[in-house]
Chain A
Amino acid sequence: MKLTGKVIKYGDNVDTDVIIPARYLNTSDPGELAAHCMEDLDRTFVERVQKGDIIVAGNNFGCGSSREHAPIAIKASGVGAVVAKSFARIFYRNAINIGLPILECDAEIDEGDRVEIDFDRGELHNLTKNTVTAFAPFPDFLQNIIASGGLMSSIKGE
């Protein structure tokens, strides 16, 4: 799988309360959630995000609440993938389980750069800076979940 997109960049410890504030958790409709994605961190996100954009962040992305509404909101916003130096563990599970591509990678990337992620080769190309960063592939078990299209599809296949 290959993805190419423009980067929207954030810092460390982006918590799920700012990704989707609890005041909007009275619905699980992806479209409604996407309308408020990142609202308490970046009010411009909803206006400027374009299909295929890639969120790049620092350490501990998605910390805090277990709300699956957070990766659902990001995915429904049209974001193609999230790249972070590290992820909070529940967000990591949730993203894999719902089929939002994520990647743990520490590469030099700035806001607005264009990057291409080659999941099969384990390479992140920064097309703006013309650099390549290798990353470790997912363990086989998780690759199976991803290939099945998420956790529920993978258990149905068993």
Chain B
Amino acid sequence: MKTYHSARDKLNHTKKCRAQRRNGGFYMGMTMTQKILAAKSGNEKVEAGQIIMADVDLVMGNDVTAPVAINEFCRAGCDRVYDRAKVVFVLDHFAPNKDIKAAQQCKQVREFAGEKGILNFFDVGEMGIEHALLPEKGMVIPGDLVIGADSHTCTYGALGAFSTGVGSTDMAAAMATGKVWLKVPSAIKFNLTGKLPKNVYGKDLILHILGMIGVDGALYKSMEFSGDGVESLSISDRLCIANMAIECGAKNGVFPVDEKTLEYVKERSSRAPVVYGADEDAVYDQVIDIDLSRVKQTVAFPHLPENARTFEDIHDIKIDQVVIGSCTNGRLEDLMVAADILKGKKVAKHVRCIVIPATQKIYLDAMEMGLIKIFIEAGCAVSTPTCGPCLGGHMGILAEGERCVATTNRNFVGRMGHPESEVYLANPAVAAASAIAGKIAPAE
């Protein structure tokens, strides 16, 4: 039996049902993701499991994934990209070039971008970590459909866009045609209430969720965040949460568009946002209620992001390195949180603390705010933007047996270096507190 909140709701639902019956179908409401996918594929209605061809508003690749895409693009005899303004290359993974082979890969992307007249090509000096850079530049707005040859492309769901990670061949096909094939996902709804306590952030919420549902808990699905609690989350927190939807196996994570979103994109883009919301009678595989005020500082233990623990269950784990940065937690807000804790303190003698602002703008803002001075005086190394250590590329590789607390997103075997090293995922406050304590420590 369906219940309605008002007579108008009932009328609207009846109208929808009638319209659907006229089409000979049976109406079921769509999730927010399904509504974007319907619009982008020219369908009035899509349903879970359906395969669609959708128009792409932006297709992105980096110095690791773009070379494979470029090879495929050229091998297929493609000549030009579908839209020079809608293809984005960011040299961020092994850049500034870590070795000769990485330099060759960056060179290949640079030359291709030049030949094809790609308008959005970000090289060293301008580049930042892709998923921090694109929102900052206003390149993604609500209602967009974005694919990227990088799994953390799901980040932009924070802004009410559909965005998902794909592979290099998918990128090549989208560069040529402006289209991507997608299987319409079903969804899990996360109904958020309350507010996060002090020193608890979006990172803790997503690690908490990972602890609940596991690394395949949302496999092939959308994670749709909703409820009164969303309003209290900063855009930075939302970007962090959507960023790690992939860690739950999800196709995308998406937040409703509110005043905060509109204000964020208005400052950065002149395009008009298109706001989609889930139908009231949208069907979800599961609804999970979370009271934000009950979420605690959470750390994911090796070697899966689902190994979430709170400080009651964390005892005296000595560390060798701390990394504060990445597409998950390298934004200005994250650096402010870390600096607040490191101010006037010293990093423990046996710990290397590496701070990596995610973009040039964040770096500059952090410098003007005095954050970089705080980090350096505390004994941190501060680096130009790069994904480097997060994936064990460069700029902070771990030796055998070493342990690192990182604000990054993955702690798989060998992720940050030696297969016998360990990565513990945490928020920037916990990472900073741990750097001072020399062991995994809560932020008080």
Interface residues of A (CB under 8 A from B): 13, 15, 17-18, 21-23, 25-28, 40-41, 59-60, 63-69, 72, 86, 88-90, 93-94, 97-98, 139, 141-142, 150-153, 155-156
CA distance A88 to B154 in the complex (A): 14
Which of B13-21, B32-40, B98-106, B314-322 makes up part of the contact surface?
B98-106
Q: A13-B216, A67-B65, A89-B249 are in contact. Are A151 and B102 (CB under 8 A)?
A: no
Q: How far is the CA of A94 from the CA of B181 in the complex (A)?
A: 12
Nearest-neighbor residue (CB-CB) of A140 within chain B: B51
Distance (whole angstroms) from the CB of B239 to the closest CB of chain A: 18
Select A22's contact among B168, B177, B391, B413, beta carbons within 8 Å.
Answer: B391
18 more contacts with CB within 8 A, not counting A17-B410, A60-B215, A65-B410, are: A15-B410, A15-B413, A17-B392, A17-B413, A18-B414, A21-B392, A25-B393, A26-B99, A26-B104, A66-B167, A88-B249, A89-B249, A93-B167, A94-B170, A98-B169, A152-B72, A152-B169, A152-B172
- B169 and A28 within 8 A (CB): no
Does B151 sit at the interface, judged by CB under 8 A?
yes
Q: Report the interface size for chain B: residues with CB under 8 A from the other chain.
A: 51
Asked whether, in the complex, the Cβ of A21 is within 8 Å of the Cβ of B414, the reply is yes
Using Cβ atoms and an 8 Å threshold, which residues of chain A touch B140? none
The answer to whether B413 touches A18, judged by C-beta atoms less than 8 angstroms apart, is yes
- Is B238 engaged at the interface, CB distance under 8 Å to the other chain? no
Which residues from chain B contact A64 at a C-beta distance below 8 Å? 151, 246, 410, 412
Q: Of all chain B residues, which has the CB nearest A15?
A: B412
| Contact present for B76 and A152 (CB under 8 Å) | yes
CB distance from A46 to the nearest CB of B (A): 15
Question: A residues within 8 A CB of B51?
Answer: 139, 141-142
Which B residues contact A (CB, under 8 angstroms)?
A: 51, 64-65, 67-68, 71-73, 75-77, 93-94, 98-99, 101-102, 104-105, 149-151, 153, 165-170, 172-173, 176-177, 181, 215-216, 219-220, 246, 249, 251, 304, 391-393, 410, 412-415, 419
Residue of A nearest to B98 (CB): A26
Q: Known: A17-B415, A90-B151. Contact between A153 and B76, CB under 8 A?
A: yes
Asked whether, in the complex, the Cβ of A66 is within 8 Å of the Cβ of B68, the reply is no
A28 touches B249 (CB 8 A): no
Residues of B within 8 A of A67 (CB): 64-65, 167
Does A27 lie within 8 Å of B101, measured CB to CB?
yes
The 6 A-B pairs of least Cβ separation, nearest first, read A26-B101, A94-B167, A97-B169, A60-B216, A40-B414, A152-B76
Question: A153 vs B415: C-alpha distance in the bound complex, in angstroms?
Answer: 34
Residues of A within 8 A of B304 (CB): 13
Bound Cα distance A69, B62 (Å): 14
**Bound complex: CA of A27 vs CA of B104, how far in Å?**
9
- B157 nearest CB across to chain A (Å): 15
A41 and B413 within 8 A (CB): yes
Chain A hits for B412, CB < 8 A = 15, 17-18, 64
